[in-house]
Amino acid sequence: GNGCASPGPTLLFVKTSRAEEQGRRFYACSACRDRKDCSFFQWEDEKVSEARLAAREEYNRNHQPSFTHRQNAERLKNFILLPLSQRKFCQDCQQLLLPAEWQEHSGHQFQCDISTAQLKTPSQLLYPLENKKTNAQYLFADRSCQFLLDLIIALGFRRVLSVGTPRLHEMIQSKASQDKDFSVRSLLLDIDFRYSQFYTEDEFCHYNMFNHYFFGGEAAQETCQQFLYQDTGERVIMVTDPPFGGLVEALASSFKKLMTMWRETEKEGDNNQEMPMFWIFPYFFESRILEFFPSFSMMDYQVDYDNHALYKHGKTGRRQSPVRIFTNITPRRVVLPIEEGYRFCTICQRYVSSGNQHCEICNSCTSKDGRRWKHCALCNKCVKPSWIHCDKCNCCALQDHSCERTDAGCFVCGKAGHKRSTCPRLSLA
Ligand code: SAH
Ligand code: ZN
Ligand code: ZN
Ligand code: ZN
Ligand code: ZN
């Protein structure tokens, strides 16, 4: 297991039920907000018995990773010295094995002949974690990863703080090791401790982006701080692709702390600036993200994933990806590939999808999902092509929507009009 390396910090949540006026407050591990995933759950006003505390400690002991990051870095050095025939990776334990350890893993499934190239692409060796709500790993399709890296370089950045983007990190790391002229560097911050087997403490920090927690303590924080220190010509950008089940508020608060760390490093001149950032997230979180980062705007580029059937590239006949780039970089500088159909709107001064038409009335290119949207005079805004204006609801909606209004917002995205079970994040109609 990973993620739930309590005693890491916990977040306080409010649980509301219909019967109660006020929600009852509870603590939960901030990496695993879903109770099912984690034994750490406690009502705020609850007394915890000695027995339960002991059980919890026992659980934590058993769920500690077998090796520390330092030990893993040392093990990697030894692993590289082994002949190919002795380089084994235990798929059950998700661990590189040294010959003396083979015995302990007898009966487990091994992957053999682990090449140096494979050690440089751990995201292909490790299986993607699948816990839906908290720790699903959706890996960038090569096309999207390459696009991001090219864009970063074209914008003049030479350092990338990769927060939950192991595949971008590994693309940068492996290019840097192959090509001496390639001068981009990356530091990975991720909760997936399995990566500590492949990277040194200067390349990877075990980090929880829901509560800005460095598991490696002050030393790890110092590594990050050092990395953010920006020499002339070594500009830094942060790129993050959080799990979509993450609370925007918690993520935003962590990212602001990373921005503060960046601001506090000595820089020449520009002290009032914000650390440049790409926050990769679905388009329906636009208003939530803008609430916390008013300087951000959403780009039309559709980010594709390898292991997510729904989010693959539109042109392959599959559904279009709802995932976008939110950034504080001036939109016109974020050049999207013409050969994939993106074009520049001179009025909006940004690149938009081919289907995104400039609406004269809204005076902007209004489509969020890549399809051509239509203007509704009654709503006074553009809406999805499949929507019609409903007089009962006094707004546009799908033809077969039910007109009942739900007062309380959705538990997940906070918007009114639907419940958690029908959150558009899950069904993308
Ligand atoms: N598209 C990215 C991966 C995004 S999946 C890529 O290809 O590089 C989300 C990533 O965030 C995973 O790597 C996951 O391990 C990490 N993650 C999930 N919860 C996290 C948390 N609480 N703190 C830090 N990283 C987290
Ligand atoms: Zn436009
Ligand atoms: Zn319009
Ligand atoms: Zn309408
Ligand atoms: Zn919702």
Q: How high is the pLDDT of residue 16? A: 47
Nearest atom of ligand 1 to the alpha carbon of 280: 1
Q: Which residues surround ligand 4, an ion (CB under 5 A)?
A: 376, 378-379, 389, 396
> Which of the two residues, 155 and 232, has the higher pLDDT score?
155
Give the lowest-confidence range in 60-74, 191-205, 368-382: 60-74
In this structure, the residues whose C-beta lies within 6 A of any atom of ligand 1 are 31, 135, 137-140, 164-168, 190-192, 207-210, 241-243
Amino acid present at 156: G
Per-residue pLDDT of 309-332, as tens digits, reads: 555 554 444 467 899 999 999 999
Supply the pLDDT for residue 114: 97
pLDDT at 166: 97
Q: How far is the CA of 244 from the centre of ligand 5 (A)?
A: 12
Residue 12: phi and psi, rounded to 5, are: -95, 130
Residue 104: Cβ-neighbour burial (10 angstroms; 0-12, 13-18, 19+) = exposed
End-to-end CA, the chain: 34
Report pLDDT digits (tens) over 334-349: 999 999 999 999 999 9
Give distance in angstroms: CA of 254 to centre of ligand 4: 37
- Which tokens is 38 given? 């984690």
Nearest ligand for residue 365 CA? 2
pLDDT at residue number 245:
73
| Burial environment of residue 20 by CB neighbours within 10 A (0 to 12, 13 to 18, 19 or more) | exposed
Q: Above 50 in pLDDT, residue 301?
A: yes
pLDDT digits (tens, 9 = 90+) for 78-126: 999 999 999 999 998 899 999 999 999 999 999 999 999 999 999 999 9
Cβ–Cβ < 8 Å for 297, 331: yes
Of the listed ranges 90-104, 127-141, 186-200, 390-404, the least confidently predicted one is 127-141
How many whole angstroms from 170 Cα to the centroid of ligand 1? 13
- With H, G, I as helix, E, B as strand and everything else as coil, classify residue 143: helix
Residue-level pLDDT at 402: 84
CA angle, residues 227, 230, 235, in degrees to nearest 5 = 100
Mutation pick for ligand 1 pocket among 94, 147, 190, 280 (CB with most ligand atoms within 8 Å): 190
Give the domain 142-354 fold: Rossmann fold (3.40.50)
CA of 394 to the centre of ligand 4 (A): 7
d(CA 213, CA 247): 16
- Distance, CA 286 to ligand 2 centroid (Å)? 18
Q: What percent of the chain has pLDDT over 70?
A: 72
378 C-alpha vs ligand 2 centroid, how far in Å? 21
Minimum CA distance residue for ligand 1 atom 11: 164
Output the pLDDT for position 428. 43
pLDDT tier at 427, thresholds 50, 70, 90: very low
Confidence of residue 21 (pLDDT cuts 50, 70, 90): very low
Residue 295 has pLDDT above 60, yes or no: yes
Tokens representing 270 are 């520009």
Where is pLDDT greater, at 357 or 53?
Answer: 357
Q: Which residues pair with 382 in a beta bridge?
A: 375
pLDDT 10s digits, 262-282: 988 766 555 678 999 999 999
Q: pLDDT band for position 32 (50/70/90)?
A: low
Ligand nearest to the Cα of 356, by number: 2
Q: Are 335 and 279 contacting, i.e. CB atoms less than 8 angstroms apart?
A: no
- Locate 200 and state its tokens: 């040194």
Ligand 2 midpoint to CA 357 (Å): 7
Please state, in angstroms and as integers, the Cα–Cα distance from residue 60 to each residue in 170, 174, 209, 251, following that order.
30, 35, 20, 25
Q: Of the ligands numbered here, which is closest to the C-alpha atom of 307? A: 1
Position 130 pLDDT exceeds 90: no
Q: Identify the CA nearest to 99 among candidates 79, 80, 120.
A: 79
Q: Which is more confidently placed, 9 or 302? A: 302
Q: Hey, what are 295's tokens?
A: 């300087």
- Single-letter residue type at 256: K
Can you tell me the distance from the alpha carbon of 378 to that of 146, in angstroms, rounded to the nearest whole number? Answer: 43
Which has the closest alpha carbon to 174: 217, 247, 116, 128? 116
Whether the pLDDT of residue 135 is over 50: the answer is: yes
What is the arithmetic mean of pLDDT over 391-419? 74
With 60 as the cut, is the pLDDT of residue 133 above it? Answer: no
Token digits of residue 380: 């006074």
The number of beta carbons lying within 10 Å of the beta carbon of residue 102 is 14
Write the CB contacts of 280 (distance below 8 Å, at least 6 apart in sequence). 165, 239, 240, 241, 303, 323, 324, 325, 326
Tell me what pLDDT residue 30 has.
52
Whether the CB-CB separation of 367 and 356 falls below 8 Å is answered with: yes
Please tell me the predicted confidence (pLDDT) of residue 137.
85
Ligand 5 is a single-atom ion; what residues have CB below 5 A from it?
410, 412-413, 423
| b (16+ CB within 10 A) / e for 293-328 | beebbbbbbbbbbbebeebbbbeeeeebbbbbbbbb
pLDDT at 76 over 60: yes
HSE of 80, CA atoms in CB hemisphere, 13 A? 13
Domain range annotation of the chain = 3-63, 69-114, 142-354, 399-428
